[in-house]
Each structure stands twice: as structure tokens, then as C-alpha cells.
Amino acid sequence: MILAILEPAKGALTEASWETLTAARDLAHKSNDSVTALMIGKGVNALAPTVKGIHTVLVAEDPRLDSYVPEAFAKIVSEVITQRSPKIALAPGTETGNDLMARVAARLNLGLATNCVEFSVEGGSLKRVTRSNWGGSLLEELEILSSPILLTLAPHAIAAQSADGTTPTVETFSVSVSEKDFRVRIKELIPTQKKGISLTDAKVVIGGGRGMGSAEAFKMLEELASLLHNAAVGATRVATNNNWRPHSDQIGQTGVQIAPDLYIACGISGAIQHMVGCKNSKKILAINKDPEAPIFQRADYGVIGDLHQIVPALIAELKKLKGA
């Protein structure tokens, strides 16, 4: 059995959870095995029927586990692994998923490969995994000798696919956590100032770099975003360091990893630390006045010129199209 550990948030499963389920189903298909999903938290009973095409959903329902409680979650996952003996336990490679699985690995004295991007199944068993390191600039191939194999899946490494077919059996997993498992807990979540669509959900992301020149200039990127469907504005580290944008808008190795249909990079040189955050974009359009800028080597479309003329021209054309 392959255990997929899912992350419910705000009454739904996260995109990273659907990607994890897709990877688990694929691994099970290749190794002629079944998938059991585990959901921990408050209200997970109601979420269980939304998962399709797998054998079982285990629900560890507890109102005290509304948000991530590191030791309690690690205890529950460790108990499930000990009792159910999966061959592989796979969680999303989010900050929470990586933290959780590191704790589980330490508790059970098992090996763990985080942020996997590829799985190599031979003769019905998982032989090797490829994991992304240093923000995606290094790929590492690993063979894990301990059993069960603990893995996390790098966000956006694969696209989430819906499955039709069987509705799984829902089983309750009784939670045996005590007060001492709550020594570390989240007391408050402070939302970012950002309004509208998040960078990770947006279908179009417009990024601004040093070439923007000021915080004021980002207003035209906001205007461009407002004219496009499902678009959000991001930035490079130069822009966030200059306080032109909040740090939460930073795309890259030390920022957000995005995977939109289109990334429009304005006044961005294409440094590796930035590109690892946007390399999963389906298409990249670069606007840069320097024809030698490295971003043009990665871009699908390029416009050579001053963004302060090109972006307003784009806005004007879009307004014309919309009859605004």
C-alpha cells in the first residue's frame, strides 16, 4: 500500500495535496499496489468523499488539530505507518509536509527524501527518486534503502489530475494525542497584506525587477494584471529589498515558487535564483531593454525595449480590446 498524506486547509485540500495524490496513484499503478490517503485535522470527515480513485481514506478527525501541530501530527503519521505498513509514505513537499516527514523519519529511524520530482519504478518497485535541491539548481538521484520509504513531492513537480472511478472506503483513525504533543503549536496566523489572487494560484503572473525603477512603477503592473484573467503581480529580490514590493511577493529560491500558464517578466535579468522560482511556468514572456539579458535564453517570447513604454502600450491595447 502507498500512503498519501494530504493537507487540508480552509475546508478543502491544497493543490499540493492533489499533486501528491496523483503521484501516489501513479506509483501504485506502476507497482500494482493500492493507495490509502490520510487526512488529519478538523472537518476532514467531510472532505474524505471528495477524493476518488483510491482504495481507502483514513481520517484522523480532531478539533484540536485545526492547524498544524508538529508533534501531534508526527505521532499520528508514525502510528499509521507502524500499524498499516505502507511500502511508501508520500507527503506534499510544502514547508509543513517537509517538517512533518522529517519528524516522522526521526521517530521511526527511517530515511527520507524531500522535494522529489521524479520516481523510477523498475520491476514493480521504487528503485530511485530524483530530488530537487538548492532551489532547483541541483538534481540529486537517490536510492533509499530503509523501508518503508518516506518521500515528499516538490510542489508543481507534476500536474494534479482528477480521477474518476471508485469512491474510497472511509475509515476513522482514532487519535491518541495528549497535552504533551501540543508543546509546539501555532498560536496565530497573520495573513499577508496581499489582496486578490495569490501568486501560486494565478494563471498569469507579472513579475517586476530592478528595471521597474520604483514602487510607483508597479502600479502599471497591477493595472495590467487587472485587465487579464486570474493574474497577480510578483517581484525579484532586488524589488523586495528596495521595498518596492512586500517580501511575500518575491519569486525565486528564497521566495515563492510559481507555475502559471504565463509569466511576464518585466525588467528582470534572469538570475538563476529568480529563475528557479518561475521555471515551472508554461510560457515566459520577457520584456527587457538589454538584448543580451540571460532571461531571453529561458523565455518563449521576448520583447526588447523599455518596459516603461511597452507595458503602457500593452495596457492601452488590452483596454481597446475590452472596449474600456
Q: Which residues of this protein are in contact with ligand FAD, per CB under 6 A?
A: 209-211, 236-239, 250-255, 267-269, 271, 273-274, 277, 287-290, 293, 306-308
Would you state the cell numbers that stand for residue 189, as one nine-digit string? 496566523
Nearer to ligand FAD (CB atom), residue 175 or residue 271: 271
Residues facing residue 90 across a β-bridge: 4, 151
Shortest Å, Cβ 271 to ligand FAD: 4
Minimum distance between the CB of residue 314 and ligand FAD, rounded to whole angstroms?
A: 13
Specify whether the CB–CB gap between 50 and 59 falls below 8 A: no
CB 137 within 8 A of CB 276: yes
Closest to ligand FAD by CB, 168 vs 255, is 255
**Is residue 248 a contact partner of residue 194, using CB atoms and an 8 Å limit?**
yes
CA 126 from chain centre, in angstroms, equals 23
Nearest-approach distance from CB 73 to ligand FAD, in angstroms: 28
Residue 195, classed as helix, strand or coil, is coil
CB of 238 to ligand FAD, least distance (A): 4
Q: Are 9 and 148 in contact (CB under 8 A)?
A: no
As given in the structure block, the three cell numbers for residue 197 are 489572487
* 294 preceded by a cis bond (ω within 30 of 0): no
Nearer to ligand FAD, 22 or 288 (CB): 288
Name which of 8 and 270 has its Cβ closer to ligand FAD. Answer: 270
User: Which of 47, 14, 266, 298 shows the shortest CA–CA distance to 156?
Assistant: 14
- The nearest distance, CB 84 to ligand FAD, in angstroms, is 39
User: What is the nearest approach in angstroms of ligand FAD to the Cβ of residue 135?
Assistant: 7
Specify the length of the chain in residues: 324
Residue with smaller CB distance to ligand FAD, 194 or 308: 308
Residue type, 299: A
Nearer to ligand FAD (CB atom), residue 49 or residue 305 = 305
